[in-house]
Structure 1
């Protein structure tokens, strides 16, 4: 047996994980989880975008997130700080100087993640970015609903193949494709050979 064949060995997917994350019989369950998570994101983001004080989006953009970040920096003290030193450094050197931009990114990011999850459009990608926001909120010392939303996002990332089955992924993924398997829009069309005369 050659070395090339050894490197190409694939480990088969266990029956349980194939059932949980790839069997369309569980699509209704994944759809409910996906829509719930999407609603949570859309609700949170819409409140920020439409905030009448304009502290997230508008003429005072960045005020709310600056207050949140300064509150996070206050949680770095003591024997068991809620915010790690490395994340406090990120807040101090990256997030606070860009609070206005970050404010828009958070508000609109939450809305876009929520809409994508509710519609079931690029579900795995939307869940990944939602989970990334949850992780950042947790790193900043805010618990709230973030742990349960993070777990739901991780689950949807794992079950992306069927989480969007009852959604726009059913149309979009065959057209766009996935890494390593381009969809109809990105497949190369090979020219037909001309018949010999």
Structure 2
């Protein structure tokens, strides 16, 4: 069969190199991606669950916002000097957005970390979960905190790139064909999927 879009696609798209196709789209490497994905998910789940179950309730509970307020004020203290750990634009974000909403942000961080961890461990919406995990790592780094954030950010970046196979041994294997991805709707949204298809005649 001849696909009328093939010629146009070749004119407007750059072919994917074999190396990146093997690393990022070959299901034979799915076990390696699964290990990385679950490790990253466990890091987030462990961190988030610790915040939710904190006995002092400084993340979730009566004193919600206390912990993150202390963290943010500590970040503001790193804005001095010729080479500050926290940039001026991020300090402005902390003062004008984060600190006034510290309690809400506290809940968002705690439950967000748990949700990211669960999604990565189960392998559902893997690329989206890794993206938001990396976004949180980036914010911690902008606030002048290293810890494991650089390693987790690199791992999240890798999982985002390898999302096509990172969830192969997870729920993505079932969910994505059903829901689809941008530009390729799944069976749920293809209302004509059950209709007989008219074959495209071969090129003359």
TM-score (norm 2): 0.89
Cα displacement (A) at 1:189: 3.0
Whether 1:28 and 2:31 are equivalent positions in the alignment is: yes
Equivalent residues of 2:75, 2:86 under 8 A apart: yes
Equivalent residues of 2:33, 2:166 under 8 A apart: yes
Match of 2:74 in 1: 71
Q: 2:165 aligns with which of 154, 162, 165?
A: 162
Distance 2:58 2:185 in 1: 42
Equivalent residues, number: 189
Whether 1:105 and 2:108 are equivalent positions in the alignment is: yes
Q: 2:21 aligns with which of 11, 18, 23?
A: 18
Matches within 5 A, 1:25-174: 25-174=28-177
Equivalent residues of 2:187, 2:193 under 8 A apart: no
Cα displacement (A) at 1:192: 6.4
Structure 2 unmatched runs, 5+: 1-7, 197-204
TM-score (norm 1): 0.92
Match of 1:185 in 2: 188
RMSD: 1.7
Q: State the Cα deviation string for residues 132-188 of structure 1 (Å, max 9, x = none).
A: 000000000000000000000000000000000000000000111100111111223
